[in-house]
Structure 1
Amino acid sequence: MPDARDTTEVDRGDGRRAPGRRVPGWAWWGGGAVLALVAGGIAIGAANAAVYSPEAQVQDYLDALSAGNGGTAMALASGTHGTGDTDSAGDADPAPNVDLPSGTASSLLQGEPLQAGMAALGELTVTRGADAPDGRSTEVSVGYTVEGEERSTVFTVERAGRDWLFFDRWRMAAVPVRTVEVIPANLPPEAASTPLTAAVNGVQAPLVTTSGEAPGQAFAVLPPMVVDAGVESTFLQAEPSRLVVDTAVPAPTTEDTGQSPEPLALDLALQYTDAVAGEANRQLDAYLAGCTEQKVLQPAGCPMGYDTVNRIPPESISWTVAGDPAATVVPLPAEGGDPTVMAPLEAEAVLTLQEIDLVTGEQQPVEHRDPFTLEADLAVTAESVRLTPRVP
């Protein structure tokens, strides 16, 4: 006798119903299982493509840099953390804990300076490249445009196993911390031991040492990164200069020796500010005034003088300088030469006095005009100017 659970009625088309076969319950369960497996396979593939992908590792790294989260970025760049190993710490993201060479600043590895360096890259595109022949690693390229030039940084991402049998785990190969040396290329000698501060990605940083080392400051940088630096002080300035740090993998020769990548130089071409000429002229006026105030024929330390055998009443002596001579400051050279001089100044001193003839006792007024050339040295630092005339 047929099981009532396995039969059903079928409409024969004439209004009457005939018994038919019911679809077995196990068939429904089997079909559902197949659909679940298909859907699961699609979900696994989508997760591997979006979340558990080499591109996702690099994107997480870039997101950390863009957010100024140096601790998270350093963890991802260390080559020891894979997918899911570094949860975002949000506002509690720790400062980078990295062993840097002595004298290297970490200020560009965290916070606003880090964000500024990333923002200058513009829109980022992340693209998966070629897999290694053994399938254990792949390249991921990050593209960006800086000042109209298309550039890129290539990262290596390695397989680190699987989670739950299906999900690939990836980790970035170690990304070396690059060193950018910000150097004032033509710093005046007298300024080598005085404070000079540069703005580097918005942070103020001293560029001068007093220990005999070359002036400058080294900064640790994670690629990709733009480093912008400039100097603006009272008497010395440097127009903003830019360096793009692209390279994420050391050159083969560097890998062979096990050494860190060579530092990258960001030279700042220093110039005098307009205030240097103003201060030099103020000191020149004071110097010449000190000369003309002397009631003598040969003012001490001055470029003018008068000789006579006659007697001169001191109260009759009066020195002036014709016109209004102005100092011209020689611009700082790009390299070589003496960077701290004033151009030779052509001027004329005017002396009026009374001469008394030693024989006849006759007194007569005299006006003597004495052309002279004045040269002077300038000692310029970030916050001071000293003019030193060259006189016999």
Structure 2
Amino acid sequence: MEFRDLRAQYQYYKTEIDSSIQQVINNTQFIEGKEVNDLEEQLSNYVGVKHCITCANGTEAMTLVLRAWGIQAGDAVFVPNFTFFATGEVVSYCGATPIFVDVCWDTFNMDPIKLEQAIVKTIQEGKLKPKVIIPVDLFGLPADYGQIEEIAKNYQLSILEDAAQGFGGQFKGKKACSFGHAATTSFFPAKPLGCYGDGGAIFTNDDALAEVIRSLKIHGKGNDKYDNVRVGVNSRLDTLQAAVLKVKLKAFINHELQDVNEIYKLYNERLAGYVEIPIIPNDYFSSFAQYTIKLKDENERNQLQEYLRQKNIPSMIYYTKPLHRQAAFTYLKLEDLDYPVSINLSQRVLSLPMHPYLKEAEVDLVTEAILQFIQD
């Protein structure tokens, strides 16, 4: 059993993927080929925004936006404390200071109440200038943009949606990657929409921002690549990855999103009442990058993971350590007292195999093992 079975997906679409890759090889347009432009247009149409700009990976996608906004030393950027390191990393990389915000127990996402408290505290301290909020659509579920956008408006902050795990999710019928002033996603292979290497994209309705990002991602180019109007980077999605993603995007839209939500229902039906199962609030739709349960405590979580391993059932812990406990952020001198939910989650979460090609018999195997463990 695979945690996320990329091999099964490839076998299902082998003919189309191989053909798409071969066409790029035949045309030899390996950088900025037609497939890249086609993919960007298809992605922007799907999400419902004017601009999609692909780049080398999801981390650089966020970095490019922050650089285009001029985020620098002295600026405060608000980031959920329970997420992957990259979301806080890009803030520090730009010289700004990440302000970590605890999350909601049920959704794993940034807590809007604690967000506003953190903004007010930062303003009162007067050492940093609040500039940006980076909500994360964790495990496939969009953050609470209803409240977060209102808070951002009240304090005149920009929103950068980190939808690295959230592509395909929805809030009130609006798709992930369409919230805030800009949004980013990742095409890392294990993501809801993944390529066969690294890749990322930026989404925005802001024409001026899109123009600057297109320049920054190719060495700060102006009219052409030998006319450099600013200092940029080299961050492009290669044509082969775009060719793969074009095939995968069709599958993602046609059936994968629906299939993964059927798997979610099967898991919930079998596990409800035995462990804490994922909750999808009203008006939300998740793309289920992960299916994450909560156990009673760290000991039970670790014992269950080992029990599953002995039965050749893979599982993962996302995340064993909140951002404020990462060694790279010790200079911020943050206290555990401010992050009780993040700490508790890191001790109790366990993610189970989850992908559109998971069979019902495999779900039965996983859940029967969990119930056996719980009941013993």
Question: Structure 1 length normalisation: TM-score?
Answer: 0.20
Question: Structure 2 length normalisation: TM-score?
Answer: 0.21
Structure with the higher helix share, 1 or 2: 2
Structure with the higher strand share, 1 or 2: 1
User: Which of the pair has the greater relative contact order for Cα pairs under 8 Å at 6+ separation?
Assistant: 2
